[in-house]
Chains A and B, each alone.
Chain A
Amino acid sequence: MLALIIRRIMQLVFLLFGISFLVFSSMYIAPGNPAAIIGGPTATAEDIAAIEENLGLDDPFLVQYARYVSNAVQGDFGYSYQTSQPVADAIAVRFPNTLKLAIASMIVAVVIGIITGLVSALKQNSLLDISATTFALAGISIPNFWLGALLILVFSVNLQWLPVGGMTNPFYTVAGIKELILPAITLGTGSAAMIARMTRSSMLEVIRADYVRTARAKGVKEKNVIWIHTLKNAMIPIITVIGLNFGFLLGGTIITEKVFAINGVGRLMIDAIAARDFPMVQGSVLLVATLFVVVNLLVDIIYTYIDPRIKFD
């Protein structure tokens, strides 16, 4: 188990190098001279040359990349072209909101998804099953930014139960929880639908397996058949979907943050792309991609716990 984790971490390090190289070279080949962006419209050719020399932008590509990586591992992602603020500081201020949103949405997705999928599988072809399947189909087709707008319309504008947007209060306060409800439902619904579909099909497959029939024949209580014999074995594909959905959720936070005017990394990224603020784009993309691969690693490790037959050779 430990050897597996070490091997996967080593692979992760190489992958992170690959990600950083791809992100850095993407920004390098992007049109627009960073020195001219920093200098502004009034900068002369001499000013631009001075900025280039000062920031090392006239160095060869690989030298620039090596410097970027060596600074990045020390937590220095450069300075914003727009605000001159350190990128790491700007991200650090906004990251808690993004993480809060992603985790809250994941909780919504897992709880709703697994319960819906379980009920649907255990009551196959019933009205409950049809309703759950319809929810799952609608959930994967609904644009989350539109769902967010509708929820605001109903719960904030008409009923005035929940705030329209923003995320300024700590999550453990009533106001903080109220701020999280609509964004978490908005972002979590699509994933809940995917998890529900996978839970249903996985449970239906396992529930017909010979060993489940044997357990029933031996007189094991139905509750134990479901929770001990069926669910644990049905969990492997479900966890795959949950792991994959964390990436979907991280991507989704970008959109949800815009709908609910949340000051997170996603909004920072959109503003940075619009302003061609390359260090900010690099830093935020790197952070989200790193989080994504780390979560995937954790999912792989959880697999081996659930199914010790998995060895990842």
Chain B
Amino acid sequence: MALAETVALKEKKREKYIITTIRRLFKNKLAVAGLIIVILQILMAIFAPAITVHDPIKQNLASSELPMFSAGHWLGTDNYGRDVWSRIVYGARISLVVGLIAVSLGLIGGVLLGMLAGYYPKLDAVIMRFVDLLFSFPGILLAMLIIAILGTSLVNVAIAISIWSIPTCARIVRGSVLSIKEKEYIMAMRSMGASDLRIMARHILPNAAAPIIVFATMRMATAILSTASLSYLGLGAQPPTPEWGAMISQGQDFMWTSPHLTIVPGIAIMLTVFAFNVLGDGLRDALDPNMDIQQ
């Protein structure tokens, strides 16, 4: 009876925490703006065929380098006559999908390593030395090293960025696990004979979720920016894929005659990265119980 009451109380507390977090998030105007931009981007990516008229990769040399607000091409066309709006919309799909894959893979690797390191002291030193080794490389350099092995493609960019995300995620998770595993309820679960896997998956992971959610949101910004950077360098998306970084790289050759080919995809990247950054900031503040005291 006492245990059932404790569990019910804990559930109630968790519900209250979630409601308070959402309320706090919606009080932060910048975070709400970020959330709206992210939702719009997702809708744009999902309904890309419905909101574009032109094929993003079909060339039409007869109408190349049209300026912005031209008839039928409100963001103009590129040097091959491809509609810039269509390429931006389909580019959103690529950026979000690559970002999502990269962050998800990074989370799987990071959470797994962080949990093992935090929970099993014997594994801690080995895992954390490996993490330290990965930290010895500036992120983009590590990604480039991985692309050098795997070859240039968007899938390999996603894998490279995910590996780059692993050490940071592992450190965050390890820190959380170290503090949570000493809590009384974890000791109680252990004394009741719960397996390590059950304790980690059902009791530690949900309690370590807050920093992981913040990390994942912020990492989406980094992943989208890095995908664009690597594609700009020619190591990611290959022509004629409508990827924002690759579009800037191609547009740079026509900066004198058609600056919009450089400016428009840059604004798309900046808005997306900004949105995920402010949303991450907002989530971090909203998930922090001390914020109420500070406010």
- Where the two chains meet, the residues of A that have a C-beta atom closer than 8 Å to any C-beta of B are 15, 18-19, 22-23, 26-27, 29-31, 137-138, 140-146, 149-150, 152-153, 157, 247-248, 250-252, 254-255, 258-259, 269-270, 272-274, 276, 278, 281, 285, 288-289, 292-293
Contacts and interface: CB of A to CB of B under 8 A. Distances in A.
B245 A145 contact: yes
Interface stretch (B59-67, B97-105, B230-238): B230-238
A158 to B, nearest CB: 10
B148 interface: yes
B119 interface: no
Nearest to A293: B136
Contacts of B228: 143
Contacts, number: 131
B35 interface: no
B108 interface: no
Interface of B: 30, 129, 132-133, 136-141, 144-149, 151-152, 221, 225, 228-229, 232-235, 245, 248-249, 252, 255-256, 259, 262-263, 265-266, 269-271, 273-274, 277-278
Given A150-B262, A273-B148, A251 B277 contact: no
Contacts of A149: 248, 252, 255, 262, 266
Nearest to A32: B151
A140 B270 CA distance: 9
B145 A281 contact: yes
Given A143-B245, A269-B144, A18 B270 contact: no
A270 B138 contact: no
B161 to A, nearest CB: 13
A143 B141 contact: no
B87 to A, nearest CB: 16
Contact of B269 (A146, A269, A281): A146
Nearest to A22: B133
15 contacts: A137-B30, A138-B270, A140-B277, A141-B273, A142-B270, A143-B245, A145-B232, A146-B248, A153-B262, A269-B144, A273-B152, A285-B137, A285-B144, A292-B136, A293-B136
